[in-house]
Amino acid sequence: MNASLLQEVTALLQAEHGGAIKIRDNNSVGGGCISQAEKLTLEDGSCFFLKSHAHAPPQMFEAEAAGLKAMAAVTPPSAMTPLRIPKVLGTGTRQPFILMEFIEEGRPKPSFSADFGRQLAEFHRASQSERFGFKMNNYIGSTPQPNPWTDRWLDFWREHRLAHQFELARRQGLTDASFNQLADRLLQRVDDHLAAPEEKAVLMHGDLWGGNYLVDKTGHAVLIDPATYYGRREADLAMTHLFGGFDAAFYRGYEEVWPLAAGSDDRLEIYKLYHLLNHLNLFGSSYRGGCLSIMRRFA
């Protein structure tokens, strides 16, 4: 940690503690895709999680902090343990970092998956809102994700999700003429496929794959590393289906609380396409086949 980073981090920790603090240990944490992650242990034994990236794209950690804070502010009415979100202490002003509560990991309780599904459904239901988007743009992985407030979901999804990723892929030379034709046709058909059910916006994690939750000491899920925005909940669930990490009990738990409307399987495919396109843009052409098979089916 350089002197300037240490100074800013220390100031945030002192504000949290209400007095002088001293960092006793500083250990790197593996598993991240983008930034440098560290566990900070203070003299009193308390621990904090620091993520920094000297060349982070603009506002990356501010957007993560805004997402985590927005999610933490959702309070489901039920007696069930709400989804846990790490408390954010702050972000850097002189260099890019985010400092938050450190989550000590534990073992999942036997009812972990069903609880997690129920908690996510309760979370979605408690966060319902009229407009789609978010208070600021953020990132999905390291790809910019635009979130302008939009009244109509279909417009939001077509323009700021699918068309945005198609355009990035085009600009990077990852598409050819037939891919582009299919993309244009699919964009024209978004309304046909996604109009029903007319559900309200919910606050979404936005990037909910198996690597973006932790299990805490109580055996419950903790959401990390979000790409938060208000969208239709099926778009949040789509990511859970893509790379593993969620089992049948999770989906049963979710639907016990808030069942999905008929036809969700097809819509989930179109929502998955956004993430596959993002992977195409981030990691290259090995994801093109997966994108094309969904595009051919729905274009």
Residues tagged active-site? 207
Rg (C-alpha) for the chain, rounded Å, is 20
> Is the Cβ–Cβ distance between 129 and 201 less than 8 Å?
yes
Q: 96 vs 253, which CB is nearer to ligand ADP?
A: 96
Q: 87 vs 185, which CB is nearer to ligand ADP?
A: 87
Sign for the pseudo-dihedral over CA of 74, 85, 159, 293: negative
- DSSP letters spanning 100-141: EE---B-PPPTTHHHHHHHHHHHHHHHT-BS-BB-SS-EEET
Residues lying near ligand ADP in the complex (CB under 6 A) are found at 29, 31-35, 37, 49, 51, 86, 100-103, 211, 224-225
Cβ within 8 Å of residue 62, ≥6 positions away? 91, 136
d(CA 119, CA 94): 37
Q: 141 vs 154, which CB is nearer to ligand ADP?
A: 141
How far apart are CB 12 and ligand ADP at their closest, in Å? 14
